[in-house]
Amino acid sequence: MLTLTCPCCGVSGEETEFHAGGEAHLKRYGPGSSDNDFEGYLFMRENPKGVHFERWRHVYGCGKWFLAARCTATLEVFGTYPAQTTEPPQDIKDKITAKRPGWSWRDFA
Amino acid sequence: MRYNAWQIFKEAFTGQTGWKPVWRDPEPKKEYDIVLIGGGGHGLSTAYYLAKNHGLTNIAVLEKGYIGSGNIGRNTTIVRANYFLPGNSEFYSHSLKLWEGLESDLNYNVMHSQRGLINLFHSDGQRDAFVRRGNAMINQGDDAVLLDRDGVRQHLPYIDFDNVRFPVYGGLLHPRGGTARHDAVAWGYARGADQRGVDLIQNCEVTGIDISNGKVTGVQTSRGPIRAKKVAMVAAGRSGQVAAMAGMRLPIESHVLQAFVTEGLKPVIDHVVSFGMGHFYISQSDKGGLVFGGDLDFYSSYAQRGNLPMKEHVMEAAMTLMPMIGKAKVLRSWGGIMDMSPDGSPIIDRTHVDGLFVNCGWNYGGFKAVPASGWAYAHLIATGKPHDTAARYRLDRFTTGRGIMDEEGTGSQHNLH
């Protein structure tokens, strides 16, 4: 059972209170972009075994979207943070580094 | 050794001492014509058909664990050809035909049992959709029978027909659908490939794919480097990590799918029953256990175990459909890692690297596809051209948008299948 803390309303809840929304920090490409960029945005995924950043929504709570750092191999949640950012905050990265030295995910490390 | 009744008879009188291991445990050679990354069902069937259909035997199958340790040994064993969209329809039809001849072809008892599969529906709209699906199956040359409520009652007298939320309106019966013994499929293909000279190398994890000038030259493994003219990835839930070694990203997310089995019971469920509205399906194994499964956990996972909320959901669905199941005790549960593609259909194709092939995206439907996937992948690797039945499983359909196959009609993006 995952336990997540919503950074918007501060409530901690079990995973049944939330809904997963897939990979976070996607760079969006729209009309006028190349086919490869558009495909990358829509379909291509990091799909890592280990540290992963992903979107969650507090569906049975405040209803807001937020982001979470989680390990896909052990299902450990490293932390959650607001969605209004293009990269994970430093304190989340530090927490991950303490537990998974040498981790990297896309351009983040 | 060729298996037959005489062998069983002979062994019964000689203390069962004549049975030998059915595949070798060879040391990896320095070089092969073809290296398959992944010794699961699809990898083993690919090796088998490369040897049998194309006469290629200088092949190594590299398996990280042991033969049968992945999804081939942890699924719900359902075999069916009730697909609807062109592309899927002919492929799974071909697969079911191969299943029907598999035991005599492999000289191995895979316990393929065509006990019939029933998909239940619960509204007029769902009935229309199943009529359409049934017609598509018949047009493909397979079988489908529309059952009304009484028709379903004759087959499945034990289900709750008057559930308030999902009253049973009828069902689509696929008589040739059924189950097979999943481990035996792996063992049968492994034995068949080994007998034809394929090296099955277990406990050998691929750690790198060597590429020079856009052409694949071999792989690095935990048991040393192996050179190869062609390398074929067929790693199911681990496809993303394998493809990353070749500098590729795939349109794949890996998710855990759980399954459950009860203690052994006397025969009670004769068919495969699929209760789509509850994301629940069930059959009874020949050993007597009720084998059933549900939906994904819905967040990406490489843990071969699921979390509790989906277990609870599956048990609720079981009780909704067939209240009698409450008397059965669950023996164990397990999880397999599914390579989920955005449109719910698989990929069998070349890659941008010369000599490197990809086979992935089987979602939760990989088991029934084992024969036809191996057949088509072997054809692609041997001839360089896609097999007719798998020609639409192109990797570039996500670039061009042409030929996307959303069988469930839920939308072609991640997290919707």
Dump pLDDT digits (tens) for A69-104: 999 999 999 999 999 999 999 999 999 999 999 999
Q: Is A99 on the interface with B (CB under 8 A)?
A: no
Nearest CA in chain B to A43: B251
pLDDT at B373 over 90: yes
Average pLDDT over residues B287-305: 93
Question: Does residue B346 have a pLDDT over 90?
Answer: yes
The overall average pLDDT reported for chain B is 96
Kind and range of the H or E element at B411? none
* Over residues B275-288, mean pLDDT: 95
Q: Say yes or no for a CB contact (<8 Å) between A2 and B414.
A: no
Contact: B249, A45; criterion CB under 8 Å: yes
Structure confidence at residue B357 (pLDDT):
98
**CB-based contact, A28 to chain B, within 8 Å:** no
The domains of chain B, with CATH numbers, are 29-75+183-250+343-416 (3.50.50.60), 114-178+253-340 (3.30.9.10)
* B351: amino acid identity, one letter: T
- Please compute the mean of the pLDDT values over residues B142-163 and round it to a whole number: 97
For A22-63, write each residue's pLDDT tens digit: 999 999 998 999 999 999 999 999 999 999 999 999 999 999
Give the tokens for residue B384.
């360089």
pLDDT at B253: 96
Q: How confident is the model at residue B59 (pLDDT cuts 50, 70, 90)?
A: very high
Q: Quick one: pLDDT at residue B417?
A: 79
Average pLDDT, chain A: 95
Please choose, from the candidates B333, B242, B257, the residue with its C-alpha nearest in 3D space to the C-alpha of residue B299.
Answer: B257
Contact list, A20 vs chain B (CB under 8 Å): 298-300, 415
Residue of A nearest to B398 (CA): A39
Q: Are B291 and B260 spatial neighbours (Cβ–Cβ below 8 Å)?
A: yes
Residues of A in contact with B308 (CB under 8 A): 1
Per the CB < 8 Å rule, is A40 touching B249?
yes
Say yes or no for a CB contact (<8 Å) between B301 and A75: yes
Percent residues over pLDDT 70 in chain B? 100
Per-residue pLDDT, B229: 98
| Alpha-carbon span B265 to B354, nearest angstrom | 53
pLDDT tens profile B402-417: 999 999 888 898 988 7
Contacts of A75 in chain B (CB under 8 A): 301, 303, 307
Find the CB nearest B399 among A20, A39, A47. A39
pLDDT digits (tens, 9 = 90+) for B304-318: 888 999 999 999 999
Average pLDDT over residues B182-203: 98
Contact B172, B156 (CB under 8 A): no
ipTM here = 0.94
Query: pTM here?
Result: 0.96
Per-residue pLDDT at B304: 86
Chain B contact for A39 (CB, 8 A cutoff): yes
Query: CB distance B251–A44 less than 8 Å?
Result: yes
* A30 in reach of chain B (CB within 8 A): no
The pLDDT score that the predictor gives to residue B415 is 83
pLDDT value of residue B97: 98
Q: How confident is the model at residue B184 (pLDDT cuts 50, 70, 90)?
A: very high
Question: Crossing angle, helix B182-195 and helix B370-383, to 10 degrees?
Answer: 30
Q: Which two tokens stand for residue A98?
A: 């303490």
Residue B416: how many CA atoms within 13 Å on its side-chain side? 14
Nearest residue of B to residue A39 by CA position?
A: B399
Residues B94, B152 contacting (CB under 8 angstroms): no
Give residue B416's pLDDT. 83
Q: Are B59 and B35 in contact (CB under 8 A)?
A: yes
Nearest to B300 among A19, A39, A52 (CB): A52
What average pLDDT score do residues B174-190 get?
97
- Closest-CA residue to B293 (of B308, B269, B309, B315): B315
